Chain A
Amino acid sequence: MSPSSATSRARELLGVGSLTNKALRTWLHGLPGVDQVGIEARAAALATRSIKTTSKEWAIDTAIGMIDLTTLEGADTPGKVRSLCAKAKLPDPTDLGTPQVAAVCVYGDMVHIARESLGDSGIHVAAVATAFPSGRASLAVKLADTKDAVRAGADEIDMVIDRGAFLAGDYRLVFDQIAAVKEACARTGDEPDAHLKVILETGELATYDNVRRASWLAMLAGADFIKTSTGKIQPAATMPVTLLMLEAVRDWRELTGELVGVKPAGGIRTSKDALRYLVMVSEVAGDDWLTPQRFRFGASSLLTDLLLQRQKLRTGVYSGADYVTID
């Protein structure tokens, strides 16, 4: 979708002749408010679901298949990325039936290494772009960053929104940047476009009302996924924030018929947490979201715990950290 078609669709949805900040503000601030106590209580209540035996087996495998196995460090090397890709393809050498993860998520300059390592495994390469994690660069730099990653073979682009512009009320600027990056995700010919994940960095948005507005703004501008966090800011993904974003994609589907994905990222480390998120996906957005096409975990250490729990279910005993490979 080109920026101009994104704009015209937005004008139509909002019922306005011109997509001004004022029009966007009226629309976004007309969304229902979020009661903090209530949403946190709801998330806590969902966390009490008891997932046992066969459902636990199913949920652990489902969660593994939804992981964006991530390394986003200044110290990343080709060797580190290659070993992460090897783990993505073969998470547990003691059980070849273990599902593969959904994607490997790296910085743009590592995309070609990951692409080469993953080959035709079907595992996607996701690249963070647009001056990740702060997003403080000109649009030209952000677009170049994106195009570079797409050219190197990224299947997915994880962009950051301009939180400063959002907090200053410059919704149109945020919209335009998302729409422009979306266009930069396009490929020519038969090659599929890269999917766009839009990182809201909810830890910097401060209020649930802002998270709801940012979610809707990102979807309006063409996001394929909305993602909580970069992982570089605390708090990163939380259950209430993810719950709110799941409500947003559910409501967006009712409005437009489109299914937008959700990706909590940062801070999800245990199988227990992952299962709680899946419960939330199922009970809030619905089972249509229980697929890697619509739900991802942005995580690095989560996979290790899921594999440990998977081994425990298979063998009946806990093995230990040395029985799961480090990436």
Chain B
Amino acid sequence: MTRKFEYAPAPESRSVVDIASSYGLFIGGEFVDPSGGKSFKTINPATEEQLADVAEADAADVDKAVRAARRAYERTWSRLSGAERGKYLFRIARLLQERAREFAVLETLDNGKPIKESRDVDIPTAAAHFFYHAGWADKLEYAGLGPSPRALGVVGQVIPWNFPLLMLAWKIAPALATGNTVVLKPAETTPLTALLFADVCQQADLPAGVVNIVTGAGATGQALVEHPDVDKIAFTGSTDVGKSIARTVAGTRKRLTLELGGKAANIIFDDAPVDQAVEGIVNGIFFNQGQVCCAGSRLLVQESVAEDVIHRLQRRLGTLRVGDPMDKNTDVGAINSAAQLARITALTAAGEAEGATRWSPPCELPEHGFWFPPTVFTGVAQTHRIAQEEIFGPVLSVLTFRTPDEAVAKANNTPYGLSAGIWSEKGSRILAMADRLRAGVVWANTFNRFDPTSPFGGYKESGYGREGGRHGLAAYLDTEGTH
């Protein structure tokens, strides 16, 4: 008998989801054709297979969507009690759970992430956000945000491709719970779960126009951001686009929250629970192929244990299973797009050229689709581009430090400030470090854990505003009576 445990293919069935050959825009409660008649294709990044034709909304379509949202706000949504709004949110949450498998399969097909992540993280967490915010809908007066917080009106939301449905939930759930109506633009490479969510809105009998979904690329997003009748813009995406949105919105009455890039430090002290820290490093940078704004892309490891930690990390990476995202045993899936793959490839080439040492475990990558192996750079200095720029891929830069002060200095020495991780068995050290790290989220002895009750957001160029928790509600409420 051979003594090697080979896992036979265990593909998730894609028959649970029907993908239409083409999709319109979801405006005023129904799917409509775009006024310009234009469309774009969305593909499966793991195979480059074309999945569907998706309508491209132009400024006229966006205007139609904003009008539908305004009408729904004035005539229906703002007149409902919080408890009534909550009922719709609970209904949506339950539908997301009931149709979880369908959403998970569709998310994996359109995004390239492993089915185990869409199944175990993306979809359940999205449903959890709706459940959580459903509970707030009739309790806003008691949220500690003032005696009578009021909705803002129509909210324009632009979301990224890395967690398509989850980012939709982060945006739509609090907006609806606080009484706003929504026009949401999903990313152009991952529109399908947002369009399936439109189906859920219909199924839940959500009043027409409360949620509108306009698909398209940058121009569609820009039309939404520039629309004069939008009261608030919420954006998650790159820092470059975020800055451009901030410039557009400057001087208008619009409110703005931004959740942008990151270059998180994952700090391993010499007294860390080392085997769990290795898991945290893996989860921090290889979860979702590293295409996570809060990814632990900079490993700061105390010099006295650096060799041991890197050895254990490399051994662990040898067991990662890279390949078909639909296989239930896949740990690392496909990169979302050719453009993203090109960026990762360029930055890692720069890492090598600037003198860092590159390492990847032996792994065979599929022939078609967009793939990048898990990669670790050692001998990285603060000045290297791979230590400064957000790569947004499965690439870890390893730096070392000698003292807690040096760890803090290096961790904070970045234009970003979204998240950080601390690994130590010493509670007092964790608390002291957390106080000094300029990052919106600091994880202790864990990484990449999300919960709707916990506010998420950045410092510095990682953006402003918080999503989730009580703080997240404030981003969608007029709490000063000034609006």
Contact = CB atoms under 8 A, between A and B. Distances in A.
B446 A287 contact: no
A211 interface: no
A38 B280 contact: yes
Interface string B298-337: 0000000000000000000001000000001100000000
A65 B328 CA distance: 27
Main secondary structure of the interface of A (DSSP, over half): helix
A39 B5 contact: no
B422 to A, nearest CB: 12
B5 A55 contact: yes
B323 to A, nearest CB: 14
Contacts of A48: 116, 120, 328
A32 B279 contact: no
A94 interface: no
Contacts of A50: 7, 10, 328-329
A185 B2 CA distance: 31
B138 to A, nearest CB: 34
30 contacts: A32-B272, A32-B273, A34-B273, A34-B275, A34-B276, A35-B425, A35-B445, A38-B273, A38-B279, A38-B446, A39-B275, A48-B120, A48-B328, A49-B7, A50-B329, A51-B8, A51-B10, A52-B8, A52-B9, A53-B8, A55-B5, A55-B6, A58-B2, A58-B5, A59-B5, A61-B1, A287-B3, A287-B4, A288-B3, A290-B4
A38 B277 CA distance: 8
B361 to A, nearest CB: 13
A247 interface: yes
The listed residue with most B CB atoms (<10 A of its CB), out of A48, A61, A288, is A48
B5 A38 contact: no
A51 B8 CA distance: 7
A224 B10 CA distance: 36
Given A32-B274, A48-B116, A278 B5 contact: yes
Contacts of A33: 271-273, 425
Main secondary structure of the interface of B (DSSP, over half): loop
B124 to A, nearest CB: 13
A37 B446 contact: yes
Given A34-B273, A50-B328, A282-B5, 17 more contacts: A33-B272, A37-B446, A38-B273, A38-B275, A41-B279, A48-B328, A49-B328, A52-B8, A54-B6, A55-B6, A61-B1, A278-B5, A279-B5, A281-B5, A287-B5, A290-B3, A290-B5
A62 B1 contact: yes
A279 B321 CA distance: 13
A54 B8 contact: yes
Contact of B276 (A35, A54, A62): A35
Interface residues on A, range: 20 to 34
A40 B354 CA distance: 40
Contacts of B425: 33, 35
A291 interface: yes
A42 interface: yes
A218 B279 CA distance: 26
A35 B329 contact: no
Contacts of B120: 48
